[in-house]
Structures are given as C-alpha cells and as structure tokens.
Structure 1
Amino acid sequence: MPTTRPGRPYVVAVDAGGTRTRVACVDLEGRRLSGAAGPAGAWHHDDDAVAHLQETVLEALRSGDLAREDARALVAGVAGVSRRGGDHGDRSLEWARSAYALPELACPQVVVNDAVTAHRGALAGEPGVVVVAGTGSMVLAITTDGDEVENGQLAHYAGGARHLAFEAVQQVLVGAAGPDDADLVAALLAAWGAADAAGLRTAALEVDRAGRHAVTRRYGALAPLVTAAASTSPLADRAVRALAERTARGVLLLAPLVGRDPVRVSTTGGVASDPAFRERLREALVVPGATPTLLLPPAGDAVLGAALMALEVAGEARPGAVDRLREDQP
C-alpha cells in the first residue's frame, strides 16, 4: 500500500459527465498534485455512476500519495442534477450530495450541476453565458448579480452528442444523403456494422431495445464523425448547423439577463468545443435585434472551475493560487 504524505493540504476538483469522470487534486498554492480519469459519473447515463465518481477520486488520492485527512474541500460538478435555485435537473442537489458523498473524506463536500463548474472554468468567474454540450447539454447564464439561469427555465433544450448523431442517422434513413455525403454515410454504416440503410435501421432498433444508456453511448460515439465531415458533407453541415442554431437560441434567450454588453459567451464539452460547431454557433448568434454577444475561447475547463470553487470553499488558498492554477492547467 503506498505511503501518504500527511500535512500536505489540498482540495479535490471533480467533473462527472455522461462519458467520463475527471479528478484533480490541487494544493493551496494552486499546484496540481495528482489526477485520475474514470468512467461516466453522471447517474442518468451509467448505472454505476456513483461508484465511478467515488473510485476515481480515491484513485487520484492514491496516485498522489495524498493523505485523506489533508483534504480541505471537494467540489464536484455532476451532470443531471439540479442547480442551486432550479429544479430542471433529473435529480435534486440534496439527493446528489447524499449519494455522491465520500465517507473517506471529512472535509466539506459540495455537489453542483456540472454546468456551474464549466461556467466557472470557461469564463473564469465572469458573468456571461456558457454552452455545455457533450453527452448532455445545458446553456447557463450567470448574471452580474450572481444569479444563475438556465435555458430549461425558458422551456428550451438544444441537445448534445447523441442529438447531433440522431439528426445525421435519421437523414440517412429517410434517404436525404446525396453524392457528396458518401464518405460520411460509409463511416456511419461502418460504425454500426451495417451494409446499407436497411441494415442501419435494423441496428438502430437493436440498440433501442438495449435501453436508454446504450442509445446514449452508441449515438454519442458517432458525433465526432459528423463534426469531422461538416466541411465536406452537406448532410453533416446541416446536422451541425441545426444543433448550433438551437444552441444559439438558448444563448440569446438568456443573454438579456446577464447585464453586460456585449455578453460574453463560451463553450465547453466535446461537441461545443469542436471547431466546426463553434464556427456555426458564431454565425447563428448574429441575429438582428438580439442582444450582442462575444464568443470567446474557454479560459479553462470544468475541472479548473471545480478547483477554483474548491479553493474558495476551503478558504485557505495562498496568494497567487488562483493565477497559478489557471497557468498550470493542461
């Protein structure tokens, strides 16, 4: 069993999404001490999500030889749980804080929706709107007064990786693919092990019978094929553009609430960070009469956001820790 190094205080930052869980342990100077990655930590995408998160955190501690008693705070951004002041997640914050708690750690443990940590990382704590789109999707605004408002509160949902793939696969199934889409169609058929559209339809029905989580994983894995083909395949371009336009609507619904002109917007997550998606989102955000926006590259990811929040919860961050953490992010 590895030896630990008592007396080395640190905080734990967790990003638990529908595809994977990432953990970083950061000392009070803002230096990353260790990290670990594991399977999905979002309960609505994996039946073993809670165990995955807990095991990944403990692996990060083991890999850094960190004593459990030296943890000062843990902040976990978890997909599919409600935000503070909102009830649009599939499970409540109270449930998540109990279910995901690690009894091995005596420090304060904070669970928030992963869009909150993503927002904090992408805009470095500044007001604005952040698009989170990977396995799942949320558009979250944080106003100049610190209020949090999500697109779901205005009856809007854009979609994530699987929705992008739904669009592409359905276009193939209805016969909407043209000659210029041949390479994309071939890639989609190969991914499903199908010889033609009829075989693709049969494979899709088989995945549906396997259950909701199987559908999410299978379709979600196809999203990179679609975005990679967006510049050469009209079908892929339509699919990516449709998702970008739905997402832009969510941003523009929230932008007037932020209280800053232009409103800063950024993106995070596998789909939202893809250059093909970002370029089409930039175009879709230009709407006559809408609140002006400025699409920025993310300052950092959701792990950075969770680490910044954890240092605040700990209340022991050394001078320069936040700047050092931003500089040292991978």
Structure 2
Amino acid sequence: MTTIREVVIGIDGGGTYTRVAVADLAGNMLASIVAEGAASIHKDLAAATNVRQAIASAIADAGVAPSQVRGIAAGIAGYDSPADLEWVKQLTDVPGLNCPKWHVNDTVAAHYGALMARPGIIAIAGTGSNIFAITESGQAISNYSFHHYAASAARFIAYDAVYEALAGNTDATDSELLGTMLRHFDCSSLDELALLARNGFEEDARERNRIFGQFAPSLTEAAEGGSSLAILVCNRAIDQMIVGIELLARSFDRGTIPVSFIGSVANSPYFFRALGEKLAHGRNRTYNVAAPMLPPVAGAVLLALSKLGIEFDEESLKQKLSKAG
C-alpha cells in the first residue's frame, strides 16, 4: 500500500517576483521556484495569473497533486488592509486546492523566515518598504501602525536622487553617478532629464516605478563609492528606517532585540553597514543585527506548518527549509 505524501505550500509574493515552495510535513523541500511577475495587484494587474501559474509549476515540480496539499500560507506584498483580501484571495484560487489558506502581508512570512517566529524586528527595503516586529508577548506590529513610512524602497531612493540632481545638489564626486543616471533615463543632459521630469517621466505609474526601481542598485553602489549625492539620499532613507525600528522597539521589554534586514536595498553594502552602525548606538533599546535564518518563502512554509500545529525540531527544520530559494 502506497502512502500519500501530504505537503504544504509557502508563497512569498513580492512586488517583482513570486516565489513558491512545496515541502512535506516533515519540512523536506520538494520544490522551490522563482517566477517572473509580481504578486501584488498594485504592481501588476496580472498578479493573479502570475501567482496561480507559479503555484501550478511548483506543484508539478514537486510531483504531487493538489489533493495532497494540506495548507497554503501566502505572504503577499500590498496586503495592507481587510479590504485587500478580496483580490488577495484570488491569487491562490487554483482548481483542486481546497485546503486551508492563510493569507498574510509578506512581512509576516519574511519575519517567520528571518527569525523563525521568535521575537524581533525585520526591516525591509527592496521593491517595497516595511518595518515589522513580533514582540515577546506575540504582538505583531508594523511602523504602519504608527502611520509612519520609511521611504527606503528602491523607487523612492531613486526618485529622491533624481530630484536632488535636478535641484543642483551635486559636486565633483557625483560625476559618475550623473552619467549613469542620464544613461538610465536615456537623456543626454540634465536639461533633457528635467524636461522628461516635467512631463511626468512615464504616464503609466507601474512602469514609471519599475524604471526608477531599476536605478536603485546604481545609487547604492555610488554611495559605497563616495558619491555625495548618493550618500545624502541613502542616509536620508536609512535615518527613516532607524526611526521606524526605534518606534517598534518601545513595545519590547528591556533587553537586546534581534533585527534582520530584508531586501536588495537594505542588504546593499552601504545600507547594511550604515544601518548596523546606527543600531549599535540605539536610543530606545540594544539591538543585535542578525542575518536572516531562512528566506521569506521558507518562512511561509514554516507558517503553514505552524498553522497545522505540526511540531518540529528547529535546527533540523532550518537545515531542510534553507534549501528554499
């Protein structure tokens, strides 16, 4: 008699890529894929198609049937209010998947992965920006709870840099960055870039944000190389992230708080180093910068297993889930 293998699915639905992992109930990774296309309807109107296709591909790669899935945990970027659940639920509406489905903001999945559900703070800066914590009492809070937003996402620091350049806030250290900026926006001069800006850059907001977001790696690299403009912009965003972390820290008991950085911007060499240096002199609490234990998609798998009440050995599960991409 053949035993039917039961599995869970974890989804890290970001603003650029959709990651899906399939694991059995012991945490053994059976499939892990990274699919082009955002999971957030705010980034891509085809978000539902993107996620459903990614789920179908992951199930096929794992060699299981939809009926074998015990539960799905989906961390979705842009799921910020109860009203969002209407479009979020559609992402996992795949024929045959009649199991429990737990939809959360992608920061929850990221936290589960980074700190394996332990108390602490994660600071996200990549396609999006969010600072999220789970306290010792199990309370989940975000800087959004304070109506605070750290404008540290890729597109925001890129917008900021372009505005500062057009305002003339540059010096000799910025020549290479300005050249890269003009090439990125296909302009021959700052005057031409100013005209492009005056006309709104790009009519479609999603496409405009995508173009700006793609410039962010050049900006963080320029900050590392000593560009005054890049350093100004990056430090401004870093200071906002620090404010958000300190806000959340007040909800913790006195003691050292683990903090992990998530996302391409937060983990760029300049941001990572500057954030760590500032947290070393924390005002409200003492912080310990810790590398994420698992990627967000593995955090979503862990969330699904936890929701099913499955007990596990943390170190063993960490080793198994670390294979998720």
**Structure-1-length-normalised TM-score:** 0.90
Q: What residue is the counterpart of 1:157 in the other structure?
A: 149
Alpha-carbon distance in structure 1 between the residues aligned to 2:63 and 2:248: 44
Q: What residue is the counterpart of 1:127 in the other structure?
A: 119
Change (3 A) 1:100 1:66: closer
SS of equivalent residue, structure 1 residue 125: coil
SS of equivalent residue, structure 2 residue 232: helix
Q: What residue is the counterpart of 1:139 in the other structure?
A: 131
Alpha-carbon distance in structure 1 between the residues aligned to 2:43 and 2:180: 25
Change (3 A) 1:284 1:108: same
What is the CA deviation profile of residues 104-126 of structure 1, one whole-angstrom value per residue up to 9, with x for unaligned ones?
31211111000101111111211
Q: Report how far residue 74 of structure 1 moved.
A: 0.8
Q: Report how far residue 44 of structure 1 moved.
A: 0.9
Alignment of 1:236-251 (within 5 A): 236-251=230-245
Q: What residue is the counterpart of 1:328 in the other structure?
A: 323
Change (3 A) 1:43 1:107: same
Residue 94 (structure 2) pairs with residue 102 (structure 1):
yes
Q: What residue is the counterpart of 2:58 in the other structure?
A: 60
Indicate the larger mover: 66-75 or 288-297. Answer: 288-297
Change (3 A) 1:185 1:102: same
Q: Report how far residue 318 of structure 1 moved.
A: 6.4
What is the CA deviation profile of residues 141-198 of structure 1, one whole-angstrom value per residue up to 9, with x for unaligned ones?
1111111111012121002111111111111111112111111111111111111112
Does the CA contact (< 8 Å) of 1:29 and 1:317 recur in 2? Answer: no
Aligned letter for 1:44? H
Aligned letter for 1:156? H
Does the CA contact (< 8 Å) of 1:6 and 1:70 recur in 2? Answer: no
Does the CA contact (< 8 Å) of 1:11 and 1:314 recur in 2? Answer: no
Indicate the larger mover: 238-247 or 98-107. Answer: 98-107
Q: What residue is the counterpart of 1:34 in the other structure?
A: 31
Alpha-carbon distance in structure 2 between the residues aligned to 1:214 and 1:94: 24
Alignment of 1:10-89 (within 5 A): 10-38=7-35, 39-82=37-80, 87=81
SS of equivalent residue, structure 1 residue 117: helix
Q: Give the one of 4, 8, 30 matched to 1:7.
A: 4
What is the CA deviation profile of residues 296-320 of structure 1, one whole-angstrom value per residue up to 9, with x for unaligned ones?
2111221111010111233456667
Aligned letter for 1:324? Q
Change (3 A) 1:258 1:95: farther
Change (3 A) 1:260 1:303: farther
Unaligned runs of 5+ in 2: none
* Percent identity (aligned): 32
**Structure-2-length-normalised TM-score:** 0.91
Q: Report how far residue 282 of structure 1 moved.
A: 1.9
Alpha-carbon distance in structure 1 between the residues aligned to 2:250 and 2:121: 10
SS of equivalent residue, structure 1 residue 145: coil
SS of equivalent residue, structure 1 residue 54: helix
Does the CA contact (< 8 Å) of 1:229 and 1:236 recur in 2? Answer: yes
Change (3 A) 1:316 1:262: closer
Q: Give the one of 249, 258, 262 matched to 1:255.
A: 249
Does the CA contact (< 8 Å) of 1:117 and 1:306 recur in 2? Answer: yes
